[in-house]
């Protein structure tokens, strides 16, 4: 334990220590079963139990209403960038609206173009994705196939502060980097999806929450593995699912429910962690990338006066066990990813370092 650093990586990212400890206890042999969770059949009673329990926990944590299905898929969120237009746009003759608020939303739109008509309903590129649209600024198509948004842009550090209203088309949201970080009004969405390795587990599984009426739109000729209807019908067990990754999502859900006390508690904790850093960004020395009303509670992005100073910042932070603070290569600067599992002590230590660094270099 003593050699664990504070890992501010954007993903794969820090996991709660109690989750790692539980996985460690189970790793050689599940109690009463004698098989490792890495070895056990996806058709076993144990795994069927994990699958059912994980869905029940997600339903409880997020307050998912009746009429939605949860599936666990592979291929990351990048595969969803293709699956979504394949299932809900291909052959409809309709237009899909994409609200492009950063790198991930842009990528999603670029994939959708391969399947049908796409309208970029809003694009933050001209200001380097530093803020988000207000409701009236999104130019939706009449009777669009769906509207796609990115709840939190991991690279730029902009996050919708509440569930947006962008017209009548089914709303689909990529919540990869803020899934389970706060309560969500699921009923506003036709689909919610997240790869697990940012805030909900390890790489290898993508959680998709689908409103059942969306399945009626799926065209007939899709490859089975790309067909949401087949995934729902077979309860994520059409083929071998990523069993260990789903087991980790299960442990994360239990941690959120039992140790944290639910998503509102988690959101409060995330808010106070984020404030520790944002309070330091409003002066001259540290320049925040995101406009204050759009700031992400998960990925805090900022710049210093020049790249040399940023490099020194990253190096000196690493000497204090504060790791992975370099910004994404497309944006530069500094990014501190402070997901659910980042302890408040890690953020406090970073804030203290930032004050000292400003004193020494300002
Ligand atoms: C990381 C990320 C993705 C891509 O996820 P992969 O699992 O690597 O495909 C997509 N969207 C957002 C918002 C992300 O943070």
Model's pTM, two decimal places? 0.98
CA atoms of 168 and 138, how far apart (whole Å): 12
**Among this protein's residues, is 279 annotated catalytic?**
no
Whether ligand 1 lies within 6 angstroms of the CB of 195 is answered as yes
CA atoms of 203 and 255, how far apart (whole Å): 18
Catalytic residue among 104, 227, 255, 326: 104
Instruction: Give Cα 305 to chain centroid, integer Å.
Output: 30
Residue identified by tokens 């959120």 is 256
Phi, psi for residue 234 in degrees, rounded to 5: -95, 10
Residue with CA at minimum distance from ligand 1 atom 4: 77
What the chain holds in terms of domains, given with CATH numbers, is 21-258 (3.40.640.10), 262-361 (3.90.1150.10)
What is the atom index within ligand 1 of the atom nearest the CA of 155? 15
The pLDDT tens digits of the residues spanning 4-23 come to 999 999 999 999 999 999 99
Distances (CA, A) of 304 to 169, 276, 313, 323: 41, 18, 9, 18
**Among this protein's residues, is 198 annotated catalytic?**
yes
What is the atom index within ligand 1 of the atom nearest the CA of 152? 13
Confidence band, pLDDT 50/70/90 cuts, at residue 272: very high
Contact 216, 229 (CB under 8 A): no
Catalytic residue among 198, 273, 297, 326: 198
Residue with CA at minimum distance from ligand 1 atom 10: 77
Instruction: Give Cα 324 to chain centroid, integer Å.
Output: 18
Q: Which pLDDT does position 1 carry in this prediction?
A: 54
Whether ligand 1 lies within 6 angstroms of the CB of 154 is answered as yes
Whether ligand 1 lies within 6 angstroms of the CB of 159 is answered as no
- Residues pairing with 174 in the sheet: 150, 193
Residue with CA at minimum distance from ligand 1 atom 12: 176
Of 232, 130, 142, 214, which is closest to residue 172 (Cα–Cα)?
214
Is the pLDDT reported for residue 53 higher than 90? yes
4's CB contacts (< 8 A; 6+ apart) are: 17
Is the pLDDT reported for residue 171 higher than 60? yes
What is the atom index within ligand 1 of the atom nearest the CA of 104? 11
Q: Which pLDDT does position 211 carry in this prediction?
A: 98
Residue identified by tokens 């998503």 is 263
Q: Which pLDDT does position 283 carry in this prediction?
A: 80
Whether ligand 1 lies within 6 angstroms of the CB of 198 is answered as yes
CA of 294 to the centre of ligand 1 (A): 19
């Amino acid at each position: 334990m003593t050699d664990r650093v504070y890992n501010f990586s954007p993903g794969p990212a820090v996991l709660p220590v109690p989750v790692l400890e539980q996985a460690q206890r189970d790793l050689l042999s599940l109690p009463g079963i004698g098989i490792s969770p890495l070895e056990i059949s996806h058709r076993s009673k144990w795994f069927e139990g994990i699958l059912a329990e994980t869905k029940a926990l997600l339903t409880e944590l997020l307050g998912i209403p009746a009429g939605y299905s949860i599936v666990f898929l592979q291929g990351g969120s990048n595969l969803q960038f293709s699956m979504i237009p394949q299932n809900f746009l291909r052959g409809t003759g309709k237009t899909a609206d994409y609200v492009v608020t950063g790198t991930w939303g842009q990528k999603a739109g670029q994939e959708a173009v391969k399947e049908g008509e796409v309208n970029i309903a809003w694009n933050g590129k001209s200001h380097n994705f530093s803020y988000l649209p207000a409701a009236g600024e999104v130019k939706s198509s009449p009777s669009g196939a769906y509207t796609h948004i990115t709840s939190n842009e991991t690279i730029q550090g902009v996050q919708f502060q509440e569930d947006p209203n962008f017209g009548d088309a089914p709303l689909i949201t990529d919540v990869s980097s803020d899934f389970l970080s706060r309560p969500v009004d699921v009923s506003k969405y036709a689909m919610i999806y997240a790869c697990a390795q940012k805030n909900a587990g390890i790489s290898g599984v993508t959680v998709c929450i689908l409103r059942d009426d969306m399945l009626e739109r799926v065209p007939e000729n899709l490859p089975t593995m790309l067909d949401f209807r087949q995934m729902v019908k077979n309860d994520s067990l059409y083929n071998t699912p990523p069993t260990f990754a789903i087991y980790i999502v299960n442990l994360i859900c239990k941690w959120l429910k039992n140790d944290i006390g639910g998503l509102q508690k988690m959101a409060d904790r995330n808010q106070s962690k984020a404030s520790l850093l944002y309070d330091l960004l409003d002066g001259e020395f540290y320049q925040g990338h995101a406009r204050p009303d759009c700031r992400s509670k998960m990925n805090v992005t900022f710049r210093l006066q020049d790249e040399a100073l940023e490099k020194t910042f990253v190096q000196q932070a690493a000497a204090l066990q504060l790791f992975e603070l370099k910004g994404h290569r497309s944006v530069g600067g500094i990014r501190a990813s402070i997901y659910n599992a980042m302890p408040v002590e890690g953020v406090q230590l970073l804030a203290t370092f930032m004050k000292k660094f400003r004193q020494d270099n300002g």
